[in-house]
Amino acid sequence: MKKKDDRLDGLRQQVDKVDDQLLRLLNERASVAKKIGEIKAKQNEQIYASNRESAILERLAASNPGPLTADSVEDIFYTVINHCRSLQKKLTISYFGPEATFTHQAAIKHFGKSAEYIPAKSIADVFDDVSKERADYGVVPIENSTEGVVNHTLDMFMGSDLLICAEREEPISQCLMASQEDLKKIRSLYSFPHALAQCRRWLEAHLPSVRIHDAASTADAAAQAALDATAAAIASPLAAEIYHLTILADRIEDSTNNATRFLIIGKKMADPSGKDKTSILFSIKDRIGALHDMLIPFKESGLNLTKIESRPTKKRAWEYVFFIDLLGHIADPKVKKAIEKLETNCVFLKVLGSYPRGD
């Protein structure tokens, strides 16, 4: 019989003691957060401050001595921050639904389980919920690393006064799920077209003969699979949890770098965090070399552009608007100067928001 290591009980007692200290400190933090919320309410300040929360996580990651990884520290303190914020106010979040989509999953990770969530049928409905104050913030997808930009989200900014308050980049892990555990019994497969496209090679190798059906969303696919023992779905881990499905295979996406960027939209601009991004929308006068000239102010100011997208205005043929993401905050003098110089040659220009970078 193996001799018991006497050190084990001592270490467990040490863990219990540390847990008691953590509990006391967490409640102490929560009490301070409640006082901050009371001051914010009196001053009519927004409860969610993406710049402050981003700075907290950045500081803790930089000072982390280990053995916890930076990702673990961020995950733990995201949870702490979200629960403390809920003591100040229970936020209402509209997201591009239905329930259990990747957007829903990103919203929960960003705002925590204590917030109230409203699934919206369309991206336009998310903007409408926030504009009409049925929700404090909205969460919408803006681009996928393999499938590209979500044009409908870009289009919504043309006629909306809402601002980008934050962004979140989430790795997208596609899972094959069903109501039973035998892959050989699968006869049909449901998923959203983008999800199917992301898993094309895996499906050809493992399920070459199943009938594939397009679903309205990955969550709808999971709902369909829950009704048929011979059906499977490609969806998020959250969908498997909600619809009580068994994950038969995970990480089945063809690209290991599959990720989606989500935007958090609201009514107020975020203050500088020290690690920010600014998004602008503009239209230029139609002349030779116009777009080239539009980029010169950013080069002269030494600003890094991370994205340029064009969209038709839908008012006149071949008339376009441009979306640009750049590093820096609108409060930074060189960012402000570059945008002011750009505006002199634009038909119109709109700052969509300055917010903490989500990378």
In angstroms, the CA 108 to CA 86 distance is 13
| CB atoms inside a 10 Å sphere around CB 117 | 18
Residue 172: per-residue pLDDT: 85
* 262 in active site: yes
How do residues 136-150 score in pLDDT, each as one tens digit?
A: 999 999 998 777 788
- Prediction pTM value: 0.86
Which pairing describes strands 346-356 and 276-284: parallel, antiparallel, or unpaired? antiparallel
Question: Does 5 have pLDDT greater than 80?
Answer: no
Residue 66: per-residue pLDDT: 92
Catalytic one of 111, 192, 262, 298:
262
> Which has the higher per-residue pLDDT, 285 or 223?
223
* 260 in active site: yes
Per DSSP, the residues of 79-147 read HHHHHHHHHH---EEEEESSTTSHHHHHHHHHH-TTSEEEEESSHHHHHHHHHTTSSSEEEEEEEETTT
Residue 317: per-residue pLDDT: 55
Binned at pLDDT 50, 70 and 90, residue 316 comes out as low
Catalytic one of 101, 218, 260, 278:
260
How do residues 106-164 score in pLDDT, each as one tens digit?
A: 999 999 999 999 999 999 999 999 999 999 999 999 998 777 788 889 999 988 999 99
> Which has the higher per-residue pLDDT, 282 or 97?
282
Give the single-character DSSP code of 234. Answer: E
What domains lie within the chain, and their CATH numbers? Answer: 22-87 (1.20.59.10), 90-172+259-266 (3.40.190.10), 175-249 (3.40.190.10), 276-356 (3.30.70.260)
